[in-house]
Structure 1
Amino acid sequence: MNLFRRLCPAPPAWSLGGDDLPGGGYTRRIVQALTGLEEWRDRPEDERVRLFAAALLIEEDRPRRVLWEMGAPIAWREHVCALLQHRWLPSAALQHPDLDRVAFRVSLLARNDDLALLATADTLAGGGDPELLAEIALFGEYTSEIGCRDRPRPFPSDHARFQYFRTPGRDPDYAAYDDTRCTVTVMSGLPGAGKDHWIAANRPGVPVISLDNLRDELGKPPTGDQGPVVAAAYERARGHLRAATSYVWNATNVTRAIRSRCIALAADYGARVEVVSVEAPPDVVHRRNGARTRPVPNAIIERMVERWEPPDPTEAHAVRWVLNV
């Protein structure tokens, strides 16, 4: 696999704990620990590569950006990022206030057995505390019991899954009645990723609430106060929702927190919500943005990249990752 070779240009060196690995001494120790585990060696090659990538990026502050710039496939990248984000979970599982919910989320993005394997290597690299290793083993057993150790946690329907993750204390097996009245498509993606192109090709004739268009209507620059723009967008959304009219919410929406507001509004009015995340390679994003009549300043795009959180299946009825090159 080409990506594996780019991540690890000298397999004999890492397998022997050599100095050719990127990262610091801790990275070398965790890679040695991971590759020394029989469970890792017994995995298919594609799974070994994915776990190896997570170990290599264990000290990286921005793993998503690194993998995006390398051209890693979206689902593969998000699997690795989910492992890194939750790598402390198995060794602290017994103290987590809502273990089921976070374990279910990990299973929809990655795999809990991968997470346990990475946590084991991490613990061994740090000295191999027997109590932590025992807790990781318990995490593995528990995720087997709740049906999400090596596979996504099943839900009765996408509506049941959506309601479970937005409703604390809800039974994950409750087959919620789907009473949705319309569909709201929430776009997500950096400027220049191709959101407008996707909408034109896939949602022709559907009303579009575009924050860019509203800025033009209201005479508000993207660097100024966005309060009036957002207020106008929400008022239009309420009008569509009252009439049970499907629409597209077109904005960058690069963080979960920002998406959650327009998703919550749609859900409160009984809409089905789909999030479409459109991506393009960095050079394509910058080229398309530069070709705009009014390009977004590069400094703003850089800030967006730093905060970027692609959507995951817990946020909506449906989540689609689209590579638009």
Structure 2
Amino acid sequence: MWQLSENKDWKWLEHNFDWVRVMQEVPQDPRHHAEGNVAIHTQMVLSALVQLPGYVELSPENQELLWTAALLHDVEKYSTTVTEPDGRITSAGHARKGEGRARQILYRDVPAPFAIREQIAKLVRYHGLPLWVFEKPDPKKAVITASLEVNTRLLALLARADALGRICTDQADLLYRLDCFEELCRENECWGQPRAFATPQARMHYLHRSGTSPDYVPFGQPQTPVIMMSGLPGAGKDTYVRKHYADLPVISLDDIRQEMKIKPTDKSGNGTVIQAAKEQAREYLRNRQTFVWNATNITRQMREQLISLFTTYDAAVTIVYVEVPAAKLLQQNRQREAIVPLPAMERLIAKLEIPTEIEAHRVVLSCPGFFLAQD
């Protein structure tokens, strides 16, 4: 069974993990965290978590997963905490940034199986949602969307420990909000499970349009399958394409770049490469011809721009994400003809966002350890 650490002693964790040690340097607003700094809060959260009946009932694997998420849930308050002119202490964006940091730690430093790592990263990302979901413009859509990326039952346990692991005047209200979050998830059939949709197109229609119902099934279905590759340089995307899509035309940014004699470091030239690739894609889409778009596509923003183009032409998009362990990635990168310098690779790992079914009609994961034990 994977463990972040068999030793759960706080002093040991501080000694062995820099990101734990710096928590004691991060202040919090006393109105919401009268207990003190992030280190004190995190220890209180961990203590509260292991006493929750719902935690005790989990499998050992999911206990470790949730315990690690609790340890990491405020890991990026270190980089986001500021003191406002009025004296308030805020840490806007710490959950979103914390998702990436958790992923980096569990990919490079303490490697975890893919599904465990991603569930921890998403728990960090969404840990505040149960407390603030009713302040969202569409709370129903918020929980349904979250359920496609994170187990809402585990999320509620983390949020409950987060609420109990602090000293504040509104704790009773926070706990009431958590009860309401659970009911909202149950009402929308996404408590501890992803919300099911009749078809992938129904899911895409609901997630990407306003004022729609999750039960609505669009009459028309996409006509042209398009495959989008995603993964870090050296992960094996080209090998995957040759093995699974040898009979399809491939739009490769690397190939276009070589044809145009444009270096990867040439930012203005990269824009030219992308425009040329998009024009090729439009030609295939107009002819309703299936093709593969082969590039890194490691951030959601990159993928969204392309998916928007593809779906404009009535395409059904499959994202194929390819991953290998960090040590193997660096080894394979050294064997590539166009080696990515190590500092650049580190920056790419830091930017990595794993594709999910929020983005496309289908997501295929080609990576070790993407199965997750269920309770």
Answer yes or no: is 1:66 the counterpart of 2:105: yes
TM-score by length of 1: 0.93
Deviations 1:134-156 (A, max 9, x none): 11111111111111111110111
The CA distance in 1 between the partners of 2:338 and 2:249, in whole Å, is: 23
Aligned to 1:9: 6
The CA distance in 1 between the partners of 2:182 and 2:328, in whole Å, is: 41
One-letter amino acid of the counterpart of residue 7, structure 2: A
Out of 243, 247, 255, which is 1:205 matched to? 247
Aligned to 1:159: 201
State how 1:1-325 maps to structure 2 within 5 Å: 1=1, 3-4=2-3, 7-10=4-7, 13=9, 19-22=11-14, 23=20, 24-61=39-76, 62-69=101-108, 70-127=110-167, 129-224=171-266, 225=268, 226-323=270-367
How far is the alpha carbon of 1:25 from its aligned partner?
A: 3.1
One-letter amino acid of the counterpart of residue 68, structure 1: Y
Of 96-105 and 237-246, more deviation after overlay is shown by 96-105
Contact 1:90 1:136 in 2 (8 A): yes
Seq. identity, %:
35
How far is the alpha carbon of 1:171 from its aligned partner?
A: 1.4
Contact 2:225 2:316 in 1 (8 A): yes
| Local SS of the residue matching 1:244 | coil
The CA distance in 2 between the partners of 1:168 and 1:306, in whole Å, is: 32
The CA distance in 2 between the partners of 1:176 and 1:120, in whole Å, is: 38
| Local SS of the residue matching 2:365 | strand
Structure 1 residue runs of 4 or more that deviate by more than 4 Å after TM superposition: none
How far is the alpha carbon of 1:130 from its aligned partner?
A: 1.0
TM-score by length of 2: 0.81
| Local SS of the residue matching 1:109 | coil
The CA distance in 2 between the partners of 1:158 and 1:230, in whole Å, is: 28
One-letter amino acid of the counterpart of residue 198, structure 1: Y
Aligned to 2:25: none
The CA distance in 2 between the partners of 1:97 and 1:179, in whole Å, is: 29
Contact 1:194 1:324 in 2 (8 A): no
The CA distance in 1 between the partners of 2:219 and 2:111, in whole Å, is: 40
The CA distance in 1 between the partners of 2:326 and 2:166, in whole Å, is: 36
The CA distance in 1 between the partners of 2:302 and 2:217, in whole Å, is: 28
The CA distance in 1 between the partners of 2:212 and 2:360, in whole Å, is: 16
The CA distance in 2 between the partners of 1:20 and 1:290, in whole Å, is: 35
The CA distance in 2 between the partners of 1:179 and 1:41, in whole Å, is: 45
- Would the alpha carbon gap of residues 277 and 209 (structure 1) be closer, same or farther in structure 2, given more than 3 Å must change? same
How far is the alpha carbon of 1:212 from its aligned partner?
A: 0.4
| Local SS of the residue matching 2:12 | coil
The CA distance in 2 between the partners of 1:302 and 1:270, in whole Å, is: 36
Deviations 1:20-77 (A, max 9, x none): 3452333222111100111111222222122112112123330001111233222222
The CA distance in 1 between the partners of 2:341 and 2:5, in whole Å, is: 35
Contact 1:186 1:249 in 2 (8 A): yes
The CA distance in 2 between the partners of 1:324 and 1:244, in whole Å, is: 34
The CA distance in 2 between the partners of 1:237 and 1:21, in whole Å, is: 50
How far is the alpha carbon of 1:254 from its aligned partner?
A: 0.6
The CA distance in 2 between the partners of 1:243 and 1:27, in whole Å, is: 56
One-letter amino acid of the counterpart of residue 81, structure 1: A
Aligned length: 317
The CA distance in 1 between the partners of 2:126 and 2:74, in whole Å, is: 14
The CA distance in 1 between the partners of 2:263 and 2:368, in whole Å, is: 27
One-letter amino acid of the counterpart of residue 42, structure 2: T
The CA distance in 2 between the partners of 1:89 and 1:253, in whole Å, is: 27
Tell me, which stretches of 5 or more residues in structure 1 are unaligned? none
One-letter amino acid of the counterpart of residue 10, structure 1: N
Deviations 1:107-133 (A, max 9, x none): 122211211110110111122611111
Aligned to 2:17: none
The CA distance in 2 between the partners of 1:213 and 1:169, in whole Å, is: 42
